[in-house]
């Protein structure tokens, strides 16, 4: 891996920024790579499109901002509409298909998961971001599954580790199913 540029988008309150922090932590602390993480959530914290950007590289990162992501994960329609125009043609797109409709996809590499529905089925919609991280770990190779799982457990509030681990494993399992059906 030379340089991977990830954008995670959604609306304020979905844990988008936390997801970016977890990916950066997984890459830098648990996978031993270089990583930077930036975020925007100003007025977006009240429900508009927000994003976290993560750059992961084997070599030092001299520029931490993203212009054309190699991977875009979106959990709201507004985030897809706002952030997908910058996506590279060969990039990976991951969507929450409960909340995002693709009228005209910007790439051929698309994976979808009903992350919000899975989180609701687990009893707490607030873990949809963790479901998405488990899925991302399965369908991409930007961070290892073990590193991401460790970063999740290291980052979630005390007392919620079991629920978040179930959420992560639910997303991971859904991803395994997607990969098997794609073969």
The CATH number of the domain where 10 resides is what?
3.40.920.10
Q: What is the pLDDT of residue 158?
A: 96
152-169 pLDDT per residue, tens: 999 999 999 999 999 999
Q: What is the pTM of this model?
A: 0.93
Distance in angstroms (rounded) separating the CA atoms of residues 22 and 133: 9
pLDDT value of position 105: 77
Say what the pLDDT of residue 42 is: 60
- How far is it, in rounded angstroms, from Cα 48 to Cα 76? 9
Domain containing 80 equals: 3-182
Write the Ramachandran bin of 159: left for phi over 0, alpha for psi from -120 to 50, otherwise beta. left
Q: Split the chain (183 residues) into runs of 10 and give each run's mean pLDDT.
A: 90 93 97 94 66 96 91 95 91 96 85 97 97 97 96 97 98 93 72
In sign, the C-alpha dihedral spanning 77, 82, 85, 91 is negative
Per the structure, the count of domains in the chain is 1
H or E segment and range at residue 112:
strand 109-113
């Amino acid at each position: 891996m030379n340089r991977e540029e990830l954008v995670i988008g959604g609306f304020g309150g979905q844990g988008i920024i936390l997801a970016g922090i977890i990916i950066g932590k997984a890459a830098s602390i648990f996978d031993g790579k270089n990583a930077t993480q930036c975020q925007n959530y100003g007025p977006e914290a009240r429900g508009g499109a927000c994003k976290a950007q993560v750059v992961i590289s084997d070599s030092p990162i001299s520029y931490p901002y993203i212009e054309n992501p190699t991977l875009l994960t979106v959990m709201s329609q507004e985030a897809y509409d706002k952030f997908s125009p910058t996506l590279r043609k060969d990039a990976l797109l991951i969507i929450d298909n409960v909340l995002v409709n693709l009228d005209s996809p910007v790439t051929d590499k698309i994976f979808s998961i009903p992350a919000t529905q899975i989180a609701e089925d687990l009893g707490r919609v607030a873990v949809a971001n963790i479901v998405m991280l488990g899925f991302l770990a399965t369908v991409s190779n930007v961070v290892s599954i073990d590193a991401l799982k460790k970063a999740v457990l290291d980052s979630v509030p005390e007392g919620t580790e079991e629920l978040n681990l179930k959420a992560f494993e639910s997303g991971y399992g859904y991803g395994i199913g997607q990969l098997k059906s794609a073969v």
